[in-house]
A and B are shown apart, each in its own frame.
Chain A
C-alpha cells in the first residue's frame, strides 16, 4: 500500500510517520496514537466531537487528512491537561457543570480555546454561533455557554 511521509508536532512532541494518504487525523489519533480522548461522533464534520487544535485553530479532525498537516502543530484534549493536572479551561468546565455524559466535552473545550485564541467575540450571539459547531445531545448548552464565556474572558 502506498504511503506518504509527513512530519508534525503532536501535543508538543515531534512526530514523523509514513501513512496511507486517506487516513484522517481523527483515525490516526484514535487508532495509531491511542489518543482516544478525541471522539468520533459522525465522521462527517457535522457534530464537532472530534474537534482538535491545529496551530491554535479548531478543526474537525474527521475532515482532515493527516498527510496534509506537514509542519503543523496539533493539540488534542490530552495535550491541554491531564485528570491530575487540569488546565484552566478544563477546570472551568467542571466548575460550571458544562457537560453531562462527557462525550462531546473534549471537542467543546478545544472549540472554546480556539475561540479565545481568535478573539472577535462581541456578543452572546457571536459566542453561541461559535460554539454551535459542537453538538451536545445532553443539551448542556446553558452551562457550556457559561464556561465558554469564562474561558474567553478569564483564561
Chain B
C-alpha cells in the first residue's frame, strides 16, 4: 500500500476551492441584515455629541448602536478577553465616549442592505473634544520601558568587556515599519439567530474556540446557546488569532434585533485593528580576528497600544542562533495611540532575526570573511538561552545544500547583458519554533468502514484538511478516500488555535493517537467475535487497505462491524504535550540566498532569484509544505521591499489603508524562486517528528535582500521596507 505521509497529496478540499463552493464566513446565504461600522476620525479625546437621528430615519435602517445605548449588561462584570489577550485591558466597543485610537468603532448601523447601512452611517453627526497626542513610535521613544515586558533570555558572560576586547565590532540601528496582515478575505461574521434565542456564528477566526470564549465572556449566553463555525478561512496570517470587532458587532446586533446579521469589514477597515508593530533595534556585535563571535547585544523597542501590552519574543533569537558567550538582551515597549498590535506571520522571530542577520553580515564584512563561512564558523548545536540540546538541527546541511543549489562560491549574475544593473548576492539564516500544544479529536467509523475525524481546529490555507487525512490514512491503514476530516466547529473536540506553526504537531499527533486507539478497539471487537483468535498478540496484526490482516487472512473493518452487529464505532482522544519538549528545545531552521539587481539610474530593486533550503523534521506533504514555504518567502520579499503601514502623526490615521497604496508582493515581483527540504530525523519533537513550516520561510529573507543590496551597491539600508528612494538618497 502506498504511504500517504510524505506523499505529494493534492488538497482534499481542492474541488470546493476551485469551483467557488468553499464557503467562507461571508458566503453564508441565509437572509441577513447587514452591519456597517462608523469609525473615529480622531485618535485621542472623547465624543461630546453624537446625533444619529438622520441615520435612524433612513430607508432600511433597523438599528443603530453606540456608547449611548449599549445594553448595561455588557458593561459590568463582563469579560472581554480572548485566549490570546496580552496583559492589560482589552478594548470594549461602545463602552464609553473615550477615543483611544483613530479608526475606533463609534457606531454600528444595521440595515436591510449593506449599501443602506454604509450610507446611513455617513448621516451620523459626531462632535469630538480632541486631546493632544504623539502619533509615532519615534515621538514616544522617551516612554520606552521594560517594566511591562516579559524578561528576555538571561544575559550571559560579560558583554561590555568582550565587546571592548573584540578585534572587529559593529554598532548599528535597524528599523522596521508597521505591517498589516491583509488576508484576501476581509474579516467577516455571519450570525444566524434562532427562535429559541440561540445563535450559530460563522466567524473568520484561526480557532473557533477563541470566538466562543469571547462570546461567552461578553454576552454570557451559555454553552448550549452558541455554536461557532468556520469551515474555510480566506487567509489570516495571525489576523484571526484574536476575535476581531466584527464578531462583537454582528453578535450584538443579532441578539438585540433578534435577527440574522452579517458584518463584513471593508478593506480599509482591515487596517483598523492588529498589525506587526514598528520596532527599532540597536545591535552591537564583536568578533575576534579569526571571526569568532565574542560579544552580542540586541536591544529592541516596539510599539503597543495604550490599553494592552503586546509583546513579542524578539531579542531572544540573537542569543540562540550563533555560539556566543557574552550576550546582552533588552526589550522595551512604548505605548502609542493605536489599536493593539497582533501576532503576524513569525511574530518576533522575523523581527529579531532581521536585525541579527543584517548585523552578522556587517560583522563578517568587517572581519573580511565570507558571510556563509562566518555563519558556519559560529555554528552552535545547543540552545544557549535555555541550556538545552536541540531535538534536532540540520542547519549545516541546509547551508551546504543552499550553497550548492545557489552556486554561492562562483556567484554569477543572471542579467549580464544589462550594464545599468548592479548585481548583488546575500544570504541569511532563518529559524522558527517547533511547538506542540494539547489537542483533542474524535473518530467515528460507520458500518461501511468510512471514517469521520473531528477537531475544532482550522484550515487557514495551510492544508489542515489534507494533511490530517494523510496522517489518519496511514495510522489507520486505510485508503485516504475513506477519511473525512472535519474542522472549524465548536461542536467538535477542543483544539489549540491554528498558529505558531503547531497544527501538524499538535492536531496531527492527536489524530495519530486516536487512530492507534481505533486499531486496538477494532482488534478487540474482532477477537471477541472470533474465538479462535482470542489469544492473538496485537503486534502480530497488520492493518492495511481498510482491513485487519492476521496469519494471511483478511478481515475488512466493515465485515468485523457486521459480525459484531455494530453500526458505528466511536473513540475520543486527548493528546498532551510530550516529554521531549521539556528536556530539549525544538526549532526548524533554514538558509536563504538571494540575488538582487539594482538599477543604477532609477534605483529600482529587483530580486531575480531566491533559494531557500529548510530543515523541518518529517514533511507530511511536500506539496503543501513547499507552497507554504514559498509563500512565506514572498512575504519576506514584500516585507523587505514593499510593505509599510504609514501613520499620520497628526491624526494617528493609517494613510495608505488600501491595496493601491499598501503594497503587497504581486505575481510580477516573483521570479526564480526555489524551496526545498533537507532530511531531518527527529524522534523527540513530537510523535510525528514533524516541525511546522508556515512561518519559517519569512524569517531571514528581508536580511538576505538587505545584504544583497549592500553587495550590489555598497550601501547599507538599515530599514524596512527598502525603497528606491533609499537607494538614491544614501
Known: A39-B185, A94-B15, A101-B183. A128 touches B627 (CB 8 A): no
Say whether A82 faces chain B, with CB atoms less than 8 Å apart: yes
CA distance A103 to B497 in the complex (A): 20
Q: How many A-B contacts are there with CB distance less than 8 Å?
A: 178
A97 touches B182 (CB 8 A): no
Residues of B within 8 A of A35 (CB): 20
Please state if A101 and B668 are interface contacts (CB–CB under 8 Å).
no
Known contacts A99-B17, A101-B235: A139-B665 contact under CB 8 Å: yes
Report A-chain residues with C-beta under 8 Å of the C-beta of B17: 99, 102, 105
Residue of B nearest to A42 (CB): B267
Instruction: State the main secondary structure of chain A at its contact with B.
Output: loop
Minimum CB distance partner of B236 in chain A: A101
- Report whether B627 and A94 are in contact in the complex, using a CB–CB cutoff of 8 Å: no
Residues from chain B with Cβ under 8 Å of A136 in the complex: 184, 667
* Distance in angstroms between the alpha carbons of A89 and B576 in the assembled complex: 43
A36 CB, nearest partner CB in chain B, Å? 4
Does B583 touch A at the CB level, under 8 Å? no
B666 sits at the interface (CB 8 A): yes
B391 near A: Cβ within 8 Å?
no
Q: Is the CB of B234 within 8 A of A143?
A: no
B609-641 interface (Cβ within 8 A of A): 623-624, 627-628, 630-635, 638
CB-CB < 8 A to A102: which residues of B? 13, 16-18, 22, 232, 234, 461
- The CA-CA distance from A78 to B264 in the complex, in Å, is 22
- Please count how many residues in chain B sit with their CB below 8 Å of the partner chain's CB atoms: 59
> Are the CB atoms of B668 and A36 closer together than 8 Å?
no
Closest chain-B Cβ to A62's Cβ sits at a distance in Å of 10
Known: A49-B184, A101-B184, A102-B461. A135 touches B234 (CB 8 A): no
A62 to B117: give the CA distance in the assembly, Å. 18
Complexed CA–CA distance, A100 and B459 (Å): 9
State in angstroms the CA–CA spacing of A83 and B18 once bound together: 8
Docked-complex contact B23 and A132, CB < 8 angstroms: no
Chain A residues with Cβ below 8 Å from B665 are 139, 141
Q: Does B186 contact A (CB under 8 A)?
A: yes
A94/B185 in contact, CB under 8 A: no
> How far is the CB of B11 from the nearest CB of chain A, in Å?
7
> At the interface, yes or no: A152 with Cβ under 8 Å from chain B?
no
Q: Mark A101-138, 1 if CB is under 8 A from B, else 0.
A: 11111100100000000000000010011011011111
Specify the chain B residue showing the minimal Cβ separation from A124. Answer: B671
Pairwise interchain contact B21-A97, C-beta atoms closer than 8 A? no
Is there an interface contact between B628 and A46, defined as CB atoms closer than 8 Å? no
Check A144/B667 contact, CB under 8 A, given A77-B19, A81-B19, A138-B631. yes
B-side contacts of A41, CB under 8 Å? 184-186, 267, 659
Q: Which residues of B contact A101 (CB under 8 A)?
A: 183-185, 232-235, 460-461
Check A38/B462 contact, CB under 8 A, given A102-B232, A143-B627. Answer: no
Q: Which residues of B contact A106 (CB under 8 A)?
A: 18, 20
Check if B101 is an interface residue, CB within 8 A of chain A: no
B10 pairs with A103, CB closer than 8 A: no
A34 at the interface (CB under 8 A from B): yes
Min Cβ gap A34→B in Å is: 4
